[in-house]
Amino acid sequence: MQRMGTDDAREAEHQLSIADSDGYTSGPLSGPLNKRARFNLPEAAPVRDDQMYVEITLDVRDGSMGVHSVKAAHDGECEDPEVTLLKKKTLEKKASFGSTAIKSASSRIRQVSHELRRLASMTKKPSPGVMDRSRSAAAHALLGLKFISKTDGSAGWPAIEKRFDELGVDGGLPRALFGQCIGMKESKEFAGELFDGLARKRNIIGNSITKSELREFWDQISDPSFDSRLQTFFDMVDKNADGRINEEEVKEIILVSASANKLSKIQEQAEEYARLIMEELDPNNLGYVEIYNLETLLLQAPNQTATARGGGTGNSRNLSHMLSQKLKPTLEPNPMKRYYQRGRYFMEDNWKRSWVLALWLFICAALFTWKFIQYRRRAVYHIMGYCVCTAKGAAETLKFNMALILLPVCRNTITWLRNKTKLSLIVPFDDNLNFHKVIAAGIAVGVAVHGIVHLTCDFPRLLQASDQEYIPMKPYFGETRPDNFWWFVKGTEGWTGIIMVILMFIAFTLAMPWFRRGRLNLPGPFRRLTGFNAFWYSHHLFVIVYGLLFVHGFFLYLTHHWYKKTTWMYLSVPVILYGSERLIRALRSSVRPVRILKVAVYPGNVLALHVSKPHSFKYRSGQYMFVNCAAVSPFEWHPFSITSAPQDDYLSVHIRTLGDWTRQLRAVFSEVCQPPTGGKSGLLRADYDHRANSPYPNFPRVLIDGPYGAPAQDYEKYEVVLLVGLGIGATPFISILKDIVNNMKLLDSEHTPKTSTTNHRGSRSFKTRRAYFYWVTREQGSFDWFKGVMNEVAEADKKNAIELHNYCTSVYEEGDARSALIAMLQSLNHAKHGVDVVSGTRVKSHFARPDWRHVYKRIALAHRDQRIGVFYCGAAGLTKELHQLALDFSRKTSTKFDFHKENF
């Protein structure tokens, strides 16, 4: 016992220099204060090339030792969450001379971890408040509390200096411009608190700092050491600089953090949340917390944010690393092989579209050629030449396309074909509207060629023909040769053609995205030319166009026999089919009266309508229906995804205010809604009392029509699905999530003697067994839209078949100092109450935007050799990225991803 101190000291000094059984050797680490050591990572560990070293600074004094700081050996910060780092600040006291102490710690370098644990085991009793920096916590610490982006660092000073010169006033930088100067332009209030904390530490009085003082501020907030960042954050919260934080100071920083992240609900409950933090960090009711208490909360082992309910994938890191290497783009050196590979990939991904477009182009070309040759053999060719052949060829393709363009918008027919036939295996029904637009482009080309050639070529030739040349034309144009263009204009063929061109020009122009989506900022009188209403009503000008087209096709200059006038032959069937569909909509909506059961107006300008479900209304999750409200417009019908499940006894839609019609609809229903009561969600709401059977008399009348097929309904074909919704784009997937849970319950019940028969289809045909749902939204209030559904799914999904991921993009990414307190609060509240402070649901929210490549990578590792259905609904900006990732992973891994984009 007497020799224990000296022997243990020598042993401790020796332990960090010996080689272990794996052949890893580190240099001796004992010595003076702040001795630095560098550990080389073994080759077996798959790490980044720029992170091959970890620098650990130790404090050794008076027979005690501790880890002062840990950071990557290069100048930047370590950003890889899988790299394990060790860090410890507080020196541990020894019971006897020479005994070394270090609390249990680990790192990705197992060998160093073993040696440090052996030293830690010699500690008899750890001092109170010392944090056990586990492997994940240490890594999390070095990634957290960043005041600047990883691309700035100390190297960012020249840019800061330049902004100081631009923003400075009388040689100083005002406090109000500090955030803009350091890159926190959108977080001025948070930047102001940071300014005050840094100024207090340096006894700077006033609201302005010099360039040299700004350089000191910048050096501190850009310091990669976690200790420095922790101290900076603590100083910012510690308003009176007494080294302690009280509840009022916690509340103030919660308000500032919530404001920076646009979390209004957290601001409203700041006092409650401040009390929660104090209860956690001040269990002895001292009335304050110190820096090590804050450190304890910050370094709690973080949940794996990449994995929600349902746990991780269970795949090895080596496999993950190999997959990352495999996905790195490589350029084929042989240009012929490269072009062949690109062509093969294109055909694999677009073969359905390709053959349909090829068939369409072939038919157009064949019709043009047929009519061209026909007129090449007629007498009129000798006067008008190839001009009349070209004009008539264009007219033939125009008649065909005017008939064909109606078929992609016959929604009932398309829904029946995709549900009742196998044509969906070869026909891309999901692209019906895109094909509609392609045909419209073909019509525009046909009209231009037909009209321009007539006006600039064959009509002038006829006017300039000699009397002898005109003799064969008398049966077609009369005994007297036309002497000017007015002769052609005043004829039935002329004025009908001109009116059709004008109406089609108006309809095509207002259907352009700039007009239809209201992107143009026109002067006051012309604003009615933009928006969905202008598109809707202008498109109905085609009713007149088709009527004139029949007339135009009957009164032809060069064709007199009725059986040779083919316009009516092209148009009759499509027009009758489309007219029947519109008639069916009118009849079906009138014989299917619905009652409004509930109305709720949510934050984010979203209106939720719950209506009674007609007995004959059968649908699948992912489908949509049309809604009409005569109080807004008696003629307009708008499509919306159905958010209720097929097993529900009601129908629901969630409508976001994005245009003039939805804006008026929200205003109409807001007038009859009342503030929510009894803890119910919804900014304004009104409910129908079934038992009293007394609907609100002021409810506007609503008609519905549907259901109609959509890409999302095909989720049933896949055992594993990835559902991605942006904002209101989550609507089709809400129904799908409920449907999956209901079918899971039904599958379980089928193992009992009494089998339920209430399902809309046999549960044995239901293939989906695993779903990943990612909902990305900008506003915290958006989570109120489907709060009840999210909680219901989280509670009912006993088998963890569904992973729910909520992302709030207004919150700064995890690790940013502006969201650090929100992350702490989130962990505490979810652990204590099971409710997320951001979403208000049982599903824990993520910050910023998802790393979509990592999302695909996780699923590919978890479901090798399987086919995954990827369904996306939202803004077009993300479509290309998600589709390209699906292609990349399908080509380079054994997991195949089928991408589907929701399209109304």
User: Of the segments 148-162, 520-534, 803-817, which one has the largest average pLDDT value?
Assistant: 803-817
Q: Which long-range contacts (CB under 8 A, 24 or more apart) does 645-648 make?
A: 645/621, 645/735, 645/738, 645/739, 645/742, 646/618, 646/619, 646/620, 646/621, 646/735, 646/739, 646/760, 647/738, 647/739, 647/742, 647/758, 647/759, 647/760, 648/613, 648/738
Closest CA to 880 of 854, 852, 857, 859: 852
Q: How many Cα atoms sit within 13 Å of 162 on the Cβ side?
A: 5
Q: How far is CA 669 from CA 109, 472, 596, in A?
A: 62, 69, 11
Mean predicted confidence (pLDDT) in 253-257: 86
Mean predicted confidence (pLDDT) in 195-215: 88
What confidence category does residue 36 fall into, taking pLDDT thresholds of 50, 70 and 90? Answer: very low
* pLDDT for the residue numbered 41: 42
H/E element, 209: strand 208-209
Please write the tens of the pLDDT for every residue from 858-877.
Answer: 999 889 889 999 999 988 88
- 40 versus 531: the higher-pLDDT residue is 531
Q: In angstroms, rounded to a whole number, what is the distance separating the alpha carbons of residues 329 and 309?
A: 33
Mean predicted confidence (pLDDT) in 746-772: 62
* pLDDT for the residue numbered 71: 52
Structure tokens at 888: 């990349």
Please write the tens of the pLDDT for every residue from 622-671.
Answer: 999 999 888 888 888 889 999 999 988 899 999 988 878 888 898 888 88
Q: In angstroms, rounded to a whole number, what is the distance separating the alpha carbons of residues 597 and 690?
A: 8
* pLDDT for the residue numbered 590: 74
* pLDDT for the residue numbered 753: 52
Choose the weakest-confidence range: 515-529, 596-610, 684-698.
684-698
Residue with tokens 């300008």: 605
The conformational region for residue 271 under phi > 0 = left, psi -120 to 50 = alpha, else beta, is alpha
* pLDDT for the residue numbered 23: 38
Would you list the DSSP string of 22-76?
A: T--------SSTTEEEEEEPPTTS---GGGSEEEEEEEEETTEEEEEEEEESSSS
H/E element, 570: helix 567-591
Mean predicted confidence (pLDDT) in 66-92: 40
* pLDDT for the residue numbered 21: 36
Q: How many Cα atoms sit within 13 Å of 416 on the Cβ side?
A: 5
- 379 versus 317: the higher-pLDDT residue is 379
Q: Are strands 596-602 and 684-687 parallel, antiparallel or unpaired?
A: antiparallel
Q: In angstroms, rounded to a whole number, what is the distance separating the alpha carbons of residues 596 and 599?
A: 7
Mean predicted confidence (pLDDT) in 48-56: 47
Please write the tens of the pLDDT for every residue from 90-123.
Answer: 333 333 333 333 333 333 444 444 444 444 444 3
Assess whether pLDDT exceeds 90 at residue 425.
no
Q: Identify the burial level of 561 via C-beta atoms within 10 angstroms of its C-beta, where 0-12 means exposed, 13-18 middle and 19 or more buried.
A: exposed
H/E element, 548: helix 542-554
What confidence category does residue 13 fall into, taking pLDDT thresholds of 50, 70 and 90? Answer: very low
Q: In angstroms, rounded to a whole number, what is the distance separating the alpha carbons of residues 383 and 388?
A: 9
Residue 105 main-chain phi, psi, to 5 deg: -145, 155
* pLDDT for the residue numbered 410: 92
* pLDDT for the residue numbered 243: 85
**Cα 144 vs. chain centroid, distance in angstroms?**
25
Choose the weakest-confidence range: 193-197, 214-218, 227-231, 686-690.
686-690
* pLDDT for the residue numbered 109: 42
Q: Identify the burial level of 333 via C-beta atoms within 10 angstroms of its C-beta, where 0-12 means exposed, 13-18 middle and 19 or more buried.
A: exposed
Q: Are 5 and 97 in contact (CB under 8 A)?
A: yes
Please write the tens of the pLDDT for every residue from 809-834.
Answer: 888 887 788 888 888 888 888 888 88
Mean predicted confidence (pLDDT) in 577-601: 84
**What is the four-CA torsion angle of 847, 853, 854, 856, rounded to 10 degrees?**
120
- 727 versus 481: the higher-pLDDT residue is 727
What confidence category does residue 171 fall into, taking pLDDT thresholds of 50, 70 and 90? Answer: confident
* pLDDT for the residue numbered 97: 35
Q: How far is CA 411 from CA 343, 415, 460, 571, in A?
A: 33, 6, 45, 18
What share of the chain in percent tops pLDDT 70?
Answer: 74
* pLDDT for the residue numbered 868: 92
* pLDDT for the residue numbered 183: 84
* pLDDT for the residue numbered 154: 54
Assess whether pLDDT exceeds 90 at residue 77.
no
Q: Are strands 173-174 and 606-612 parallel, antiparallel or unpaired?
A: unpaired
* pLDDT for the residue numbered 355: 93
Assess whether pLDDT exceeds 90 at residue 89.
no
Mean predicted confidence (pLDDT) in 736-759: 68
Provide the β-strand partners of residue 69: 57
User: Of the segments 197-206, 356-365, 523-532, 612-621, which one has the largest average pLDDT value?
Assistant: 356-365
* pLDDT for the residue numbered 361: 96
- 255 versus 138: the higher-pLDDT residue is 255
**What is the four-CA torsion angle of 394, 395, 398, 400, rounded to 10 degrees?**
-110
* pLDDT for the residue numbered 330: 60
Structure tokens at 604: 């984010």
Q: In angstroms, rounded to a whole number, what is the distance separating the alpha carbons of residues 43 and 318?
A: 12
* pLDDT for the residue numbered 716: 87
- 44 versus 703: the higher-pLDDT residue is 703
Assess whether pLDDT exceeds 60 at residue 756.
no
* pLDDT for the residue numbered 406: 94
Assess whether pLDDT exceeds 50 at residue 205.
yes
Mean predicted confidence (pLDDT) in 364-380: 91
Q: How far is CA 891 from CA 349, 493, 609, 788, 887, in A?
A: 11, 56, 43, 39, 6
Structure tokens at 779: 């506003």
Terminal Cα distance for the chain, rounded: 82
Assess whether pLDDT exceeds 70 at residue 55.
no
Closest CA to 702 of 631, 651, 613: 631
Q: In angstroms, rounded to a whole number, what is the distance separating the alpha carbons of residues 588 and 705?
A: 7
Share the mean pLDDT of the chain: 76
Other C-beta atoms lying within 10 Å of the C-beta of residue 804: 24
Percent helix, strand and coil across the chain, each to the nearest 5: 50, 15, 35
Helix axes 411-420, 567-591, angle to 10 degrees: 80
Q: Are 718 and 768 in contact (CB under 8 A)?
A: yes
Q: In angstroms, rounded to a whole number, what is the distance separating the alpha carbons of residues 534 and 539?
A: 8
- Render the burial of 508-522: b for 16+ CB within 10 Å, e for the rest: bebbeeebbebeeee
Please write the tens of the pLDDT for every residue from 536-556.
Answer: 888 999 999 999 999 998 888
Closest CA to 9 of 95, 124, 98: 98
- 458 versus 360: the higher-pLDDT residue is 360
Structure tokens at 434: 């895109």
* pLDDT for the residue numbered 671: 80
Q: In angstroms, rounded to a whole number, what is the distance separating the alpha carbons of residues 40 and 822?
A: 36
Q: What's 394-406 look like in SS3?
A: HHHHHHHHHHHCC
Q: Are 64 and 97 in contact (CB under 8 A)?
A: no
Q: What's 231-265 look like in SS3?
A: HHHHHHHCCCCCCCECHHHHHHHHHHHHHHCCCHH
- 74 versus 21: the higher-pLDDT residue is 74
Q: What's 321-340 look like in SS3?
A: HHHHHHCCCCCCCCHHHHHH
What confidence category does residue 496 fall into, taking pLDDT thresholds of 50, 70 and 90? Answer: very high
